[in-house]
Amino acid sequence: MYLNCHSYHSLRYGTIPLDELIRQAADCNVKAMALTDINTVTGIYDFIKGCEEANIRPLVGIEFRCSNQLRYIGLAKNANGLAEMNRFLTKHNFENSPLPLVAPEFNDICIIYPFENAPKVLKEYEYAGICAEQLPKLFLPEWRARLDKMVVLQSVTFRTKREFNLHKILRAIDTNVILSKLTENDYCKTSEVMVPLEELLAQFEEYPQIIQNTEKIIGQCHYEFDFKTPKNKKYYSGSQKSDMQLLTNLAREGLLKKYGNDNPQAEARVEKELKVIDQLEFSGYFLITWDIIQYSISQGFLHIGRGSGANSIVSYCLGITDICPIELDLYFERFLNVNRKSPPDFDIDWSWKERDTILRYIFDKYGADHVAFCGTNVEFKYRSIFREVGKVFGLPKEELDQLAKNPMALHDKNKIVKLVQEYGMLLEKYPNQRSMHSCGILISEEPITNYTPLEMPPKGFPIVLFDMHVAEDIGFEKFDILSQRGIGHIDDSVKLIEKNRGIKVDIRDTTLSKNEAKANAFLSHGKTIGCFYIESPAMRGLLRRLKCDNYKTLVAASSIIRPGVAQSGMMKEYIFRHNHPDRFEYFHDVFKEQLGETYGVMVYQEDVIKIALHYAGLPAADGDILRRAMSGKGRSKAALQKVKDNYFACCAQKGHPLKLSEEIYRQIESFAGYSFCKAHSASYAVESYQSLYLKVYYPIEFMVAVINNHGGFYRTEVYVHEAKMSGATIHNPCVNKSEYETALYGIDVYLGLMQLEGLETKIAHFIVREREAHGEFGSLEDFINRIPIGIEGIQILIFIGAFRFTGKTKNQLLVIARLILVNFKPENRNLMLLQEPIKEYTLPVLERSAFEDAFDEIELLSFPVSCTPFDLLQTKYRGQVMAKDLLSHHKKTVKMIAYLISRKHVPTKMGAMYFGTWIDHEGEYFDTAHFTNSLQKYPFQGGGCYLLLGTVEVDYHFPTITVSKMAKMPFVPDPRYSNTSDRQYKVHEQIREDVSMTHRAPYPQEHEINLPRHKMG
């Protein structure tokens, strides 16, 4: 009888989570119900599964609304009916056109109009829905005559009075008005609740025909869904047989290229994998991925294949990945096996500049009707909740900011704030809006609108209305088409090297960079700024602690830096065992056999599976549930609890000591959501090596590429400093030398026009285009004649020295610019300046301080170029020791002058602490730790130079200064404002620092880990 039920997937309208809606229906003895969320099918697949478990017959449909007006409700009679509705809604979503008042012609849909809006003439499959409070209207003859087309319309939107209030809050958020401004038309009726079926039927007992009509609709709707059949495009070449023939040929060609013609181990593995791929009919999946890679290579693009796909030797032979699974002992079963009917995704990265070209190819090649991005639900989050709900209650901006910024314990205690908190907490984890998955693409065998309507977000690629979890449940395996700046660094470096030096570097040949001796030396000393994944202070510290100088150790390092491994204490333990392999025992033989490569420490997701299988004896399916929980893909807490119970039962059966089993499970749990599979770490390590190789041998080109890809972990200034330390001469932007991006001529680096804060992007591009079309600018006058720029833009370019080729001072250029532009009309630009000779001005000679240029640079670039920050200090003191000396000062107190690069905030029980990264006067990096008691007296005061006093602690070859005192050192006053004291220190505030935050507690110390180093059983 319930033909119109809303879950919270009716965004900013429904209040009932899907599983609770089903539970309520079961409690009300409902035998059949329809989920008809507003303009979406997001929840129907979970709904079908949930109803089947609750013995309720599921009906699926859509409530079509336009501008909050209910037009009609559509119920699918079968799969074609759902597809009809999906295509209808997709058309209106794409055209952004209003839904018609009357439903179009449908074949396999039942349409229900609200009683008051029903057309006079209803088609055979159309009905008017009436609710109990409208029944008195049936005494009117014109309505009574239409009983044969009426059905029960008991809509469900909320459950309790509290949820009705929540519904009104959601409506106020959606309509962007305060609660008191809502009208009755903005929200649902107070009767839109689910009542026991007997009670509902009793309300309509005088109208048996309405009940019969309703039962007739329920009987006509037989939407069934096959969750087991894969929905991805099946074949690449037209049939399974021809796909397998092509895949076999490609794999064997790649085998010969990668391993030569005499490698029985590789040959056997290729044959074994091909057999499984054929058995599971995933040849099309491999070939579509291969096809995308071939297109990428044909365009000269660089890609990185990572994730569990790197466990496959076939993907290695096809060029999808660059990881040899034999070298790293990666087992194919982690990626694909006969017991696991769906493969994990291939994750493939491109440069952020090239990803859209790849996406366009996929959509064009496989058809717009068959390709779409995965959707995702953006939930109400803690801070945004209080801001949104507070706005509904009419709170002013200042109070909203306080609610969003502070924890609940610090909120005001007034009545309104309590209401904001109460309803805000109810909204936590509710979906707020639909968005686009960052990288997941579905390529469907059938038209994708058979499963969902599509929306067209601003990025121009359609999205489905369900997330990746639902996609996987219904049989889709997404293709992850990712982008990252690290590949842009590598790709652009290679192009720059060829352009600047005439050298072609085949960076795709990983044997060139992997385990290269000089690169390994840089790696072990943490000289990795700019390199993908290994440039952060934490990672550089880890590399130094491990003296990491080889590929396999870097693979491990890439995983143990992850929060789950580090937080559990296993990172600390790995470092200890790596440095002291003779000072521990494996606490069980299984750990020695299975995890000998990582000293018995669980580092990868596979390690957890290995221990679950070989120590506890859990079945493979349980191991996979653990893996999915660790990777954040598992959604069922009940399933995980079942595995946990089974784990302890199996351990007891095997006679393992309970204490050891508990310790092992503690380690397993600590991984949740934050560990890599080994193949993923290996892929990251290969990319890290590629960027490191380029940094070692072509450092200036590499740093220019990093700058042009908008950096990485640090701000642009740091990468400019690295280029300078590598021998580059850094030049300020110049209208005759600079490109929009940073340009390189030999060792001369000209910062790009894009770096100038305040210069319009379109003007920056125009300058470069005009110069390329008509030659260099001869003078300032020539520039003004050719470029449509105002006095503000001219001043920016003058102050940064972009006209220094003229030989005139900045002051002289300013005078010329103002004399020309004082009565200048843009429309006369070409006429006036071309026809009239330029006047020669007698210009005064004005003295400039040597520091004026530096302060111009800070103002326009946020960092000085013509000198170092140390040159701007009032003091000549540069500290007692330099960064290079710290290793020999263990436990000693040192005093240093340093320039702040970055700091990371870490919460502790005692309060905030920070880890700092600095450069000394010689340009070398070092790190500091700042504990709460020190920070209370000596806090950070923004970017700049500080005097530091602290004790050096050398932890496994890595020195850190624990700072006891620090003070920000004064720079010289800005000489440009020598006559106005209030401005003399204003520009100094523009000197930046990189600040990162974490909500995780600091990593545990060695004594807190208490990980056994002796045999336990």
- Using CA of residue 54, residue 55, residue 61, residue 62, what is the dihedral sign? negative
Assign residue 891 a region (left: φ > 0; alpha: ψ between -120 and 50; beta: otherwise).
left
Long-range CB pairs of 111-114, under 8 A, 24+ apart, other chains included: 111/72, 111/73, 111/74, 111/75, 112/3, 112/4, 112/72, 112/73, 112/74, 112/75, 112/151, 112/153, 112/217, 113/71, 113/72, 113/73, 114/70, 114/72, 114/153
- Using CA of residue 737, residue 742, residue 744, residue 750, what is the dihedral sign? positive
Statement: residue 838 has pLDDT above 80: no
Statement: residue 840 has pLDDT above 70: no
What does the block give as tokens for 721?
């400093």
- Lowest-confidence range among 137-146, 182-191, 632-641? 632-641
What does the block give as tokens for 208?
């048996």
The pLDDT of residue 832: 47
Q: Which of 563-577, 659-673, 920-934, 980-994 has the highest mean pLDDT?
A: 920-934
pLDDT (average), residues 780-802:
93
The pLDDT of residue 572: 87
Long-range CB pairs of 538-546, under 8 A, 24+ apart, other chains included: 538/904, 538/915, 540/925, 541/927, 541/958, 541/960, 542/571, 542/575, 544/956, 544/957, 544/958, 545/575, 545/579, 545/955, 545/956, 545/957, 545/958, 546/575, 546/578, 546/579, 546/956
Residue 409 CB contacts under 8 Å (≥ 6 apart), including other chains: none
The residue among 942, 944, 503 whose CA lies nearest residue 700 is 503
Please report the DSSP string for 408-467 in residue order. GGGS--SHHHHHHHHHHHHHTT-EEEEEEEEEEEEEBSS-GGGT--EE--TTSS-EESS-
Please report the DSSP string for 150-188 in residue order. EEE---B--SSHHHHHHHHHHHHHHHT--GGG--GGGS-
The pLDDT of residue 59: 97
Alpha carbon distance 300, 503 (integer Å): 16
Please report the DSSP string for 799-833 in residue order. HTTTTGGG---HHHHHHHHHHHHTT--GGGHHHHH
Residue 1009 CB contacts under 8 Å (≥ 6 apart), including other chains: 569, 572, 573
Which is more confident, 217 or 411? 217
The residue among 630, 631, 609 whose CA lies nearest residue 620 is 609
> Angle at CA 333, nearest 5°, toward 329 and 623?
105
Statement: residue 630 has pLDDT above 70: no
What does the block give as tokens for 397?
């901006």
Q: Which amino acid is at 208?
A: P
Q: Which amino acid is at 534?
A: I
Alpha carbon distance 577, 565 (integer Å): 15
- Lowest-confidence range among 402-416, 476-490, 815-829, 875-889? 815-829
Residue 932 CB contacts under 8 Å (≥ 6 apart), including other chains: 908, 910, 911, 912, 913
C-beta separation of 718 from 901 below 8 A:
yes
Confidence of residue 831 (pLDDT cuts 50, 70, 90): very low
Assign residue 734 a region (left: φ > 0; alpha: ψ between -120 and 50; beta: otherwise).
beta
pLDDT (average), residues 503-524:
91
Statement: residue 774 has pLDDT above 70: yes
Confidence of residue 357 (pLDDT cuts 50, 70, 90): very high
What does the block give as tokens for 34?
């329809």
Residue 572 CB contacts under 8 Å (≥ 6 apart), including other chains: 566, 1003, 1004, 1005, 1006, 1009
Alpha carbon distance 886, 896 (integer Å): 11
Statement: residue 450 has pLDDT above 50: yes
pLDDT (average), residues 679-699:
94
The residue among 533, 442, 444 whose CA lies nearest residue 480 is 442
The pLDDT of residue 833: 46
Coil vs helix vs strand at 27: helix
Residues of the chain by 3-state class (helix, strand, coil), percent to 5: 45, 15, 35
Confidence of residue 457 (pLDDT cuts 50, 70, 90): confident
The residue among 283, 190, 292, 305 whose CA lies nearest residue 237 is 283
What does the block give as tokens for 711?
């950096």
The pLDDT of residue 401: 84
pLDDT (average), residues 869-897:
96
Alpha carbon distance 467, 476 (integer Å): 11
pLDDT > 90: percent of the chain: 67
The residue among 916, 912, 949, 903 whose CA lies nearest residue 932 is 912
Statement: residue 114 has pLDDT above 80: yes
pLDDT (average), residues 31-55:
96
What does the block give as tokens for 987?
């520009």
- Lowest-confidence range among 6-20, 91-105, 110-124, 410-424? 410-424
Q: Which helix (H) or strand (E) holds 689?
A: helix 678-697
Residue 307, burial from CB neighbour count under 10 angstroms (0-12, 13-18, 19+): buried
Average pLDDT, the chain: 90
C-beta separation of 443 from 288 below 8 A:
yes
Alpha carbon distance 915, 902 (integer Å): 8
C-beta separation of 148 from 217 below 8 A:
no
C-beta separation of 756 from 774 below 8 A:
no
Alpha carbon distance 921, 946 (integer Å): 12
C-beta separation of 432 from 468 below 8 A:
no
Strand 911-919 and strand 893-908: the pairing is antiparallel
Torsion of the alpha carbons at 636, 641, 647 and 648, rounded to the nearest 10: 180
Please report the DSSP string for 364-377 in residue order. HHH-TTTEEEEEEE
pLDDT (average), residues 364-371:
93
Alpha carbon distance 791, 817 (integer Å): 7
Give the tens place of pLDDT for each residue, 237-260. Answer: 989 999 999 999 999 999 999 999
The pLDDT of residue 74: 97
What are the Cα distances from residue 602, in Å, to 306, 541, 581, 617, 667?
21, 21, 16, 17, 8
**Which residue carries 């890290």 as its tokens?**
688
Statement: residue 631 has pLDDT above 70: no
- Return the CA Rg of the chain: 33
What are the Cα distances from residue 236, in Å, to 143, 161, 255, 284, 348?
57, 55, 21, 5, 19
Confidence of residue 825 (pLDDT cuts 50, 70, 90): low
- Lowest-confidence range among 204-208, 274-278, 666-670, 798-802? 666-670
What pTM, to 2 d.p., does this model score?
0.83
The pLDDT of residue 837: 47
- Lowest-confidence range among 48-52, 112-116, 565-569, 835-839? 835-839
Q: What is the distance between the terminal CA atoms of the chain, rounded to a whole angstrom?
A: 61
The pLDDT of residue 890: 96
Statement: residue 385 has pLDDT above 50: yes
Give the tens place of pLDDT for each residue, 908-927. Answer: 888 889 999 999 999 999 99
pLDDT (average), residues 487-516:
92
Give the tens place of pLDDT for each residue, 600-613. Answer: 988 888 888 888 88
pLDDT > 70: percent of the chain: 93
